[in-house]
A and B are shown apart, each in its own frame.
Chain A
Amino acid sequence: MPIIIFFSVIFISLVLLSIPVAFSLGTASIFVYYLSGQPLGNIPMRIWTGLDKFSLIAIPFFILAGELMSTSGILERLMDFARLIIGRLKGGLLYINILVSMIFGGINGSAVADSSAVGCLLIPSSIDEYGDKELAASVTASSSVVGPIIPPSLPMLIYAFAAGNVSVAGLFLSGIVPGILLGVGMMISTYFMIKNKNYPRIDVDYSTKEILRIIRRFILAAVLPIIIVGGIVGGIFTPTEAGCIAVFYALFIGFFITKELTFKKVYKNLIRSTIVSSIVLIMIAVANVVTWWLSIQGVPQIISNFFQQITSSTNIFLFLMIILYLFVGLFIEAAAAIIMLVPVFLPVAMTYGVHPLQFGILTVLGLLIGLVTPPVGLCLSIASSIAKTEIEKVFIKNLPLLAVQFGVLLIVAYFPELYLWVPRLFGFG
């Protein structure tokens, strides 16, 4: 036990020195390997074998598909469609913002990227229409959290690796109900926020020809998430193949249909997705060093016993996990936190009889909520910078939406039957 505390202290101090999380983790493990007499020579091997899994290749493909999507004009087409469907409502742009994030968010794993991509397209026009900078920013930031819950979702993919033998298709299916609850909940919450306001409606009359055009364009765009989710769930491809096909599809659309892609843009996308992938993958690699040490020291067992001593109640355990995730999510990016926490806490959760799919949704949502809370709140800070306003004001405006997210988190924790029937229907979990 003392050496675990020592490890945590070193790790946290290094992180506070603003050393990247992957290197803090690596350095802390060198210390404890040395002190507990474990062979340092094992560290590079563990780093290497951390990536020795074919299924990991899905990660760069998902990231690249997400990058391509935001530059290939697919997002704009979806937005046109969303405008056609719900644009006429009072404050329609806000609902469009939520709907677009629900469907497209989370492919590249980063709610942050969703905030900026959708934010850039919708925040300026929302401000022009409604004159409320904070509201526009808060809706953008909060709805980014929905993306990774509704499939396709890279954080879920990362969870599946961290958890070991958990079905990606099962995770994707488990996210549907909570994701819809989140999206609809936020729309309702937005409705009440703007109910007494005198926002203009967009009264565009679409001609039938235009409607058909928008729908046709939408169908081409909407095929992408359908390929990914349908392909994986329907058993047509593995996650890696789905990611690969999504990349090619986005390239095809971008070059031949929307003609918005250029080789220069693709090159930029390739570089960016290489960088983003390597950030995620090096975390996975280094975390593999730590898991070895944890196993040798019997840490999962120790932590499990520790929890069992505190409580034998599953509900209290889940409550403690929520607190932990919300706290960790305040400071550390979700992907990194998933990689570090899931291998330790999933076995504990299983001793309490928590379903691995349930634990997955809880983990992803719990950690993502940190993106819209200070002090770090990346989504919040990005959205507020696009809206050119202060993060604190946006946070206060965001409280009703945060309440919805917290409510759904509680549902995820305490009413698993409400959403686990979906994966069961398809024979997963």
Chain B
Amino acid sequence: MSILVIVIFAAVMSRYVFFTPLNFANMLSKYLVMWLTFLGASIAIREGEHIAVNFFVNFLSNKKKKLILIVSNLIVSLFCITIIYYGILFSINGITSTDPLLFGMRMIYPYLSVPVGFSFILIQYNLFTIIQLFSNEIKSNEKKHMQEVV
């Protein structure tokens, strides 16, 4: 992940230091940010960091929390699978189109960030749920967030 961030630096910096606009750098860094976002989102799940509202669920008993966890896991999985399926179709469409500013790169490479990213999200979400189910205490996002930051 950090490699991606560094590459973006390099791209934008080169544009800045040499004062010659590298038009391809704009495009490249944009596509890298897409990859960073969709892959990073799966790491965020592992860390329990997504913006979520736990206020109501926190009132429930541990047993009910686990039930809700299973239900929401199914819903999110369904969402991810839909995105992955149509995301693959979308990416295939990028085989024939090209980006003239990035040396004619096939658009499938940036497009693939969506299905690949959501595949990782699907995996991480399910792992997260399983780990939670087997642990005694269901962590809420706020608590987790504080542990991270403080």
| Direct A–B contact in complex, judged by CB atoms less than 8 Å apart | yes
Interface residues of A (CB under 8 A from B): 14-23, 26-27, 30, 40-41, 43-45, 47-48, 51-54, 56-57, 60, 64, 112-113, 116-117, 120, 237, 240-241, 244-245, 247-248, 267, 270-279, 281-283, 285, 331-333, 335-336, 375-376, 378, 381-382, 385-386
Task: Give Cα distance in the complex from A248 to B9, angstroms.
Answer: 9
When chains A and B are docked, how far (Å) is the Cα of A64 from the Cα of B38?
Answer: 17
| Majority secondary structure of chain A interface residues (helix, strand, loop or mixed) | helix
User: Which residues of chain B are near A18, meaning CB under 8 Å?
Assistant: 52-54, 56-57, 68, 72, 141
Query: Taking the nearest CB of chain A, how far is it from the CB of B79, in angstroms?
Result: 4
A22: chain B residues at CB < 8 Å are 41, 50-51
Cα A276 to Cα B26 with chains together (Å): 22
Please state if A375 and B33 are interface contacts (CB–CB under 8 Å).
no
Report whether A47 and B68 are in contact in the complex, using a CB–CB cutoff of 8 Å.
Answer: no
Contact with A along B42-54 (1 / 0, CB 8 A): 0111010111111
Interface residues of B in 108-146 (CB under 8 A from A): 110-111, 113-115, 141-142, 145-146
Q: A15-B53, A278-B37 are in contact. Are A60 and B90 (CB under 8 A)?
A: no
List the A side residues contacting B55 at CB < 8 Å. 331, 375-376
* Across-interface contacts of A272 in B (CB, < 8 A): 148
Known contacts A60-B8, A281-B33; A44/B72 CB under 8 A: no
Number of B interface residues in the complex (CB < 8 A): 58
Q: Give bound CA distance, A60 to B149, whole Å.
A: 18
The residue that B36 contacts in the complex, of A27, A60, A267, A376, with Cβ under 8 A, is: A60
Q: Which residue of A lies closest to B121 (CB)?
A: A23
Is A41 touching B89 in the complex (CB atoms < 8 A)? yes
Q: How far is the CA of A247 from the CA of B12 in the complex (A)?
A: 12
Q: Using Cβ atoms and an 8 Å threshold, which residues of chain A touch B38?
A: 278, 282
Q: How far is the CA of A18 from the CA of B47 in the complex (A)?
A: 15
Write the chain B residue with the least CB distance to A16.
B56
Q: Give the docked Cα–Cα distance between A29 and B83 (Å).
A: 12
When distances are taken between beta carbons in the complex, the residues of chain A under 8 Å from B110 are 48
Chain A min CB distance to B31 (Å): 9
Expressed in whole angstroms, the minimum distance between the Cβ of B100 and any Cβ of chain A is 15
Closest chain B residue to A279, Cβ basis: B44
In whole Å, how far is A33's beta carbon from the nearest beta carbon of chain B? 10
What's the minimum C-beta distance from B105 to chain A, rounded to whole angstroms?
A: 14
Given A22-B51, A278-B44: A273 in contact with B5 (beta carbons within 8 A): yes
A40 to B82, CA, bound (A): 8
Task: Identify A271's interface contact among B1, B16, B71, CB under 8 A.
Answer: B1
Question: Contacts A20-B52, A40-B86, A331-B55; is A51 near B30 (CB within 8 Å)?
Answer: yes
